[in-house]
Chain A
Amino acid sequence: MRTPTVAALSGWLRDTSVYRSIVRHGVEDTNLNRSLVVLENLFLHVHPVKVREKTLRLGHTFWLGGITLACTGILFATGILLMFYYHPSVPQAYQDMKELQFVVDNGLFLRNLHRWGAHLMVFAAFAHMLRVFYHRAYRPPRQFNWVVGVVLLLATLGLSYTGYLLPWDQLAFWGVSVGTNMVRAAPWIGEPFRFLLLGGHVVSENALLRFYVLHCVVLPVTLILLVSVHIWRVRKDGGVQGPPEDVP
């Protein structure tokens, strides 16, 4: 009887009809199969089959867009887990923060990851924007994608800011109070807009609920749509653009 090795086992697995029905590219390491990996996969097909070698270099983009996207992924994962434990109501919201720390397994780790991930995402998005700017990657034909990027940055700030209120602690409450008081200054639309945002004249339970819905539904959906457009456009415009020396 043959001793089953890992290689043999995985070979057998790849030959099963179930696996074949899911993964359509062949087993052999050929350029055809490598191409099929990308082409046959919904998530990878935003990439072309081949990329310029220099785009893989660190100095080309510093991977800043990628870091932002990685943060988004981590934030979605941790955020969905956190939603299982969170009630957008007063004072339960605050007590939930405590429960995360005291009772929920790895609860504090999740919250920390979400918090620091959010800070990194804002920072990386800023840095990404500056990198694109100084590499003159906003120039035609990429004007529209730059605008999408600006909107994405605003959405990121919006996500971070709406999430800031959710713990309902002193930091959250006063941070948001100060921020929304700035909105007041806008002539005519300031006060009505603030009322719409907070669901009242002060930061209250209504504001908590609105921020929660914005944070967990409206802005994430916006983000997903715009990120899709953003990345798709990158590909359509010929891949990521590095330092301006690329363009003659």
Chain B
Amino acid sequence: MAAIDPAAWRRAALVLIVTAALFGTAATAGAQEAPDAMVKRVAQDVLATIRSDPAIQAGNEARIRDVLEAKLLPNFDFARMAALAMGKNWRGATPEQQKRITDEFRALLVRTYSSALNQHRNETIDYRPLRMNAGDTEVIVRTLVQRASGAPIQIDYGMEKKADTWKCYDVVVAGVSLVTNYRDEFNEQIKGGGVDGLIKTLADRNRGVAAK
């Protein structure tokens, strides 16, 4: 057997490395984080940050919002949440209106979430076993929030599979879906003042105008 040309060796090695790298990436993408593991990781990260931040301990709610913006909100699909809350009116809105509603609804949910979190930051979360079949693209991650006083509260997260991650599209507190709960309110606003009326009401609420 003739000696193999060193250049051929190098080529073969290069091919191997490139193939391995490609497969490696593919393998990582395939082994996507499970939705319940993801909820747990994000929740623990947010709670740990909030509990250890001196500004937040001093009652700075704007700082809570910064933490949520950085760690929590990228995991939500706000466009889908807005579409679910709008129901059949979503398709009647222009893309520009859809974007404004998504932005204002997002701001409203963040305000609500940060004031709730400010009151309940010292509670612990139990994670319930996930019921999920291979190939499911939508799952519900169930958690139980243990309070210092009072009965525990069940909080469920509706999660949808995206290309390389999971995103939350609904939060269900003690059986009450946040998104569904807005449907009649959105409907009423649209009946009264059209889609732009809804956008205005949402924007007013976000600027601190009280609800009727």
Is A bound to B?
Answer: no
